[in-house]
Amino acid sequence: MKTANKTVTAERLVRDALEKAKYFADYNIFTFLNEEEAIKKAREIDAKIARGEKVGRLAGVPYALKDNFLSPEGQTTAASHILEGFVSPITATAVEKLEAEGAIMIGRTNMDAFAHGSSTENSYFGPTHNACDKERVAGGSSGGSAVAVALDIVEFATGTDTGGSIRQPASFNGVYGLKPTYGTISRYGVVAMASSTDCIGFFTKTPDDMNLLMEIASGQDEKDLTTLPDYYGKTKAKKATKIGIIKDFDNDSVHPEIRKALQNKIELLKSKGYEIVDLEMPALKYALAAYYIIVPAEVASNLSRYDGVRYGFRSEKSENLDALYKNTRGEGFMPENKRRIMIGNFVLSSGFYDAYFLKAAKARTLIVQEYAKAFEKCDFILSPVTPNPAFKLGEKTSDPVTMYLEDAMTVPLNLAGVPGLTIPAGKTDDGVALGLQLIGPRRSDKNLIEFSKELA
């Protein structure tokens, strides 16, 4: 990570990043550019450096913030209409930690509204374009953040991953993207999608940058009772010997160029003396169905607070309380938001809870056990991130189920709470970026990042 010093000032780094952000304006990466505040903060850091004072590990490093992180700079909208005008009095724990080390937010990045989606096409601000091919989707939901790093606007960006929202856009744009073990980074101050699967993570260009960010951002937070006791920095190095391949994720349903990329990496590992282990993980086939029950249920619940009463958008034409709710939510949410609210409320309805939610919860337990069993046989798993590379803009918007199917390889990790790291894996013949994901047992994040260097 290039930090500020006496010759390359923080102001220089920040101005460069802002200039690049403007240069790539047609990619629709940012929902807000933090010009004034960012330059002010950069000057403060430069003044510190000039005085010879100690500065943080990210001194003057510009970064991009996914628009679902609360901070008082700009509006926190989660790329939705219903949060339009909301300026947060609160700063997310993760943001606080980054800024305490001197990182400077230069802008908020575009996303699928409330992180519902896999293409950033569900944004109130329109879609973000793929870094390699403007005709294609950026992936999502953290599409803006992935593209901001891929186009070298910033050295890192924050993301959230509920079912693949970091790993999939990282793969689509050819950068590193980590979904840590559930509970590693505090969710406090991050607009909730699904509480039990939401993970905070990052996009970077290198494994070392990822490690540094994890050192900084991880840790137990009394404001988030689901955070794990500090473990990241205390992780004991462990040399991997066996790498698992999930057989069901290496068949005809997977795009040939992705299979080829996977095969290349397998060969590389073999050449380095690693043992390749074939894994049967039959419970994973329930993951997508379970995910699209549990997550919409939590989504419907977490979105209940957006009612137009206290903050954000409120529909003008409301004669009574019922109309206020219906109109505000009707106008304020995107179609995908509404779809998930409806699914979620349906599966939680009296009489359906046992048939859907409870069954999905049981499937989730099976999936957790499936990973535990797999990690008795291998140290890490190497897998595709998606069955297909980045698709064309508009190609799948009319068919939500096809879109959901693209999540089949990412969502099992969220249900199990295990970490997953997307690593770049070359490009298709058409020049579309490819990625693969490395999966590890819970709390193996640090070793997982270290191991990824073997595949670089």
Site for another protein, residues 354 to 393, rule: CB under 8 A: 357
Residue type, 28: N
**Closest-CA residue to 81 (of 336, 264, 273, 434):** 336
Separation between Cα atoms, residue 356 and residue 147, nearest integer Å: 37
Q: Which residue among the candidates 165, 171, 186, 444 is catalytic per the annotation?
A: 165
Separation between Cα atoms, residue 107 and residue 95, nearest integer Å: 13
Strands 380-384 and 242-246: parallel
Candidate list 349, 365, 369, 402; residue touching another protein; CB under 8 A: 349
CB 95 within 8 A of CB 88: no
Separation between Cα atoms, residue 177 and residue 448, nearest integer Å: 12
Q: Which is nearer to another protein, 224 or 331 (CB)?
A: 224
| 189 binds another protein per the rule CB under 8 A | yes
Site for another protein, residues 91 to 110, rule: CB under 8 A: 92
**Closest-CA residue to 292 (of 68, 117, 419, 110):** 117
Q: Which is nearer to another protein, 258 or 341 (CB)?
A: 341
| 311 binds another protein per the rule CB under 8 A | yes
Candidate list 239, 272, 310, 317; residue touching another protein; CB under 8 A: 310
Binding mask 395-434 for another protein (x = CB under 8 A): ----------------------------------------
| 206 binds another protein per the rule CB under 8 A | no
Q: Please identify, among the stretches 104-112, 343-351, 386-394, 402-410, the one whose residues bind another protein according to the rule CB under 8 A.
A: 343-351
Angle 38-39-45 from CA coordinates, rounded to 5°? 90
Candidate list 26, 52, 225, 354; residue touching another protein; CB under 8 A: 225
| 327 binds another protein per the rule CB under 8 A | no
Half-sphere exposure of 141 (CA within 13 A, CB side): 30
> Site for another protein (CB under 8 A): how many residues?
45
- For residue 382, which phi and psi values (nearest 5 degrees)? -110, 130
Kindly state the tokens that stand for 148.
């901001």
Q: Smallest distance, Å, CB 123 to another protein?
A: 17
Report CA dihedral (410, 416, 420, 425) to the nearest 10 degrees. -40
Q: Which is nearer to another protein, 139 or 308 (CB)?
A: 308
Candidate list 21, 157, 246, 297; residue touching another protein; CB under 8 A: 297
CB 452 within 8 A of CB 420: no
Candidate list 42, 70, 132, 416; residue touching another protein; CB under 8 A: 70
How many residues in the chain?
456
Candidate list 96, 208, 215, 224; residue touching another protein; CB under 8 A: 224
**Closest-CA residue to 152 (of 3, 16, 12, 31):** 16
| 226 binds another protein per the rule CB under 8 A | yes
Kindly state the tokens that stand for 432.
């579309």
| 315 binds another protein per the rule CB under 8 A | no
Query: Strand, helix or coil at 332?
Result: helix
| 196 binds another protein per the rule CB under 8 A | yes
Query: Strand, helix or coil at 305?
Result: helix
Scan for tokens 């460069």, then name that residue: 16
| 195 binds another protein per the rule CB under 8 A | yes
Binding mask 264-293 for another protein (x = CB under 8 A): ------------------------------
Candidate list 353, 355, 392, 453; residue touching another protein; CB under 8 A: 353
Catalytic residue status for 41 = no
Q: Which is nearer to another protein, 191 or 279 (CB)?
A: 191
Catalytic residue status for 80 = no
| 192 binds another protein per the rule CB under 8 A | yes
Candidate list 4, 13, 83, 393; residue touching another protein; CB under 8 A: 83
| 321 binds another protein per the rule CB under 8 A | yes
Residue type, 24: F
Helix/strand/coil (H/E/C) assignment for every residue in 5-59: CCCCCHHHHHHHHHHHHHHCHHHCCEEEECHHHHHHHHHHHHHHHHCCCCCCCCC
| 304 binds another protein per the rule CB under 8 A | yes
3-state helix, strand, coil in the chain (%, to 5): 40, 15, 45
Kindly state the tokens that stand for 377.
């046989």
Catalytic residue status for 141 = yes
| 223 binds another protein per the rule CB under 8 A | yes
Separation between Cα atoms, residue 79 and residue 308, nearest integer Å: 16
Q: Smallest distance, Å, CB 142 to another protein?
A: 16
Candidate list 2, 22, 285, 305; residue touching another protein; CB under 8 A: 305
List contacts with another protein (CB under 8 A): 68-70, 76, 78, 83, 86, 88-90, 92, 187-192, 194-196, 222-226, 297-298, 300-301, 303-307, 309-311, 321, 325, 345, 348-350, 353, 357
State the catalytic residues: 66, 141, 165
